Amino acid sequence: MSSFFASRIGIIVSGAIIGALAALLVLWGNPPNMGVCVACFTRDTAGALGLHRAAPVQYIRPELIGFVFGALLGALLFKEFKPRSGSAPIIRFVLGFFAIIGALVFLGCPWRAYLRLAGGDLNALLGIAGFIVGVAIGVFFLKRGYSLGRSRPTGTAVGLVMPAFALILLLLLVFRVSFGENAPIFFSKSGPGSLHAPILISLVVGIVAGFLAQRTRFCTMGAIRDVIIMRDFHLLSGVLAFIVAAFLVNLAIGKFHPGFAAQPIAHSNHLWNFLGMVLAGMSFALAGGCPGRQFFMAGGGDGDAAMFVFGMLVGAAFAHNFNLAGVPDKIVDGKLVVGGPSIWGQIAVIVGLIIVAAIGWTMREK
């Protein structure tokens, strides 16, 4: 069974299942072209916890909780649960922080970039192009010896931090815990945060995706990286299956609408779609995995990946507290108003590019 998941057919089947489920989640209630978006869902979760107060994007997303539980399950069943940490955790936090700022300027992580494409949102092409450039820059640093150093095996508690955090989030969600008037937990009444599939469906899809991804090492960044580094198409075949399956499901359920302008929860500000995802791609490449993969690794006991996830959570809060995130296109009086990031979002991307490049340049294996 282990060899099936490691095989080419294993990752293609798994990628297709995850892609199809992601597209179906929109039918079941998730926001358009956002069946699964690790960055957006981290942002929604940050909002639900009151770490930012952007009312339309506040909801504890059970898919992410499922990611952690599914990966934990896969790791435990196949004796791969290994608590480990110590590979420059604070740098991983910083990479997570800037990865999500870049992603939220574009309005989606690589997962959603692929899903947006599968839904006909052609702005995703700019985002994916930027993402590929970002990953290529990461590969450049890797080839000249970039390393965050070695992690070490450590106590079980380190490996259980992320599963415990996920469990607490699940309890807060299920019991809709309120900490007082105008206090968390917040649930959006309108906007993307108000659109969600039933909790149980989202959770189960997350667990299935987490399990399959833990077994197959599905990674939306590694897919690009491995092709650039060594023409290895293994992970890419999983991602292509993910996109094709989501596309076919979208066709079947009438959710494929090709075009650039006024796509759902997206903007057609091409330059910043591109640059935001350059920043995200670089950050994911230097952290060794896409945002989904960071959740899966954290569920499997990797404390450094958990630091990356917490970096994303804090980055998402900053993105909305400081108006860094991209604003979607709007139609006002029949005219298209192109969205995109504010000047502060643009500055954040530039600063992020400089800091992440500095990390890539200076962190070398001794």
Task: Kindly list the residues in this chain that would bind other proteins in the complex (CB under 8 A).
Answer: 6, 78, 80, 82, 84, 86-87, 142-143, 147-153, 217, 219, 222, 225-226, 229-230, 232, 234, 287-289, 304, 365
CB 106 to other proteins: min, Å: 23
Nearer to other proteins, 84 or 267 (CB): 84
Nearer to other proteins, 7 or 178 (CB): 7
Nearer to other proteins, 230 or 332 (CB): 230
Sequence-distant (6+) residues with CB within 8 A of 228 are: 135, 136, 139
Helix then strand count (H, E) for the chain reads 15, 4
CB 152 to other proteins: min, Å: 6
> How many other CB atoms sit within 10 Å of the CB of residue 6?
13
CB 217 to other proteins: min, Å: 5
CA angle 97, 158, 50 (to 5 degrees): 45
* Buried b or exposed e, range 141-161, using 16+ CB within 10 angstroms: bbeeebebeebeeeeeebbbb
CB 295 to other proteins: min, Å: 14
CB 2 to other proteins: min, Å: 8
DSSP state of 57: S
CA–CA separation, 235 and 218 (whole Å):
6
Nearer to other proteins, 148 or 173 (CB): 148
Q: Treating both helix axes as pointing N-terminal to C-terminal, what angle do 123-143 and 110-118 enclose, rounded to 10 degrees?
A: 150
CB 147 to other proteins: min, Å: 6
Cα separations in angstroms, 301 against 70, 121, 314, 366: 12, 36, 21, 25
Nearer to other proteins, 63 or 304 (CB): 304
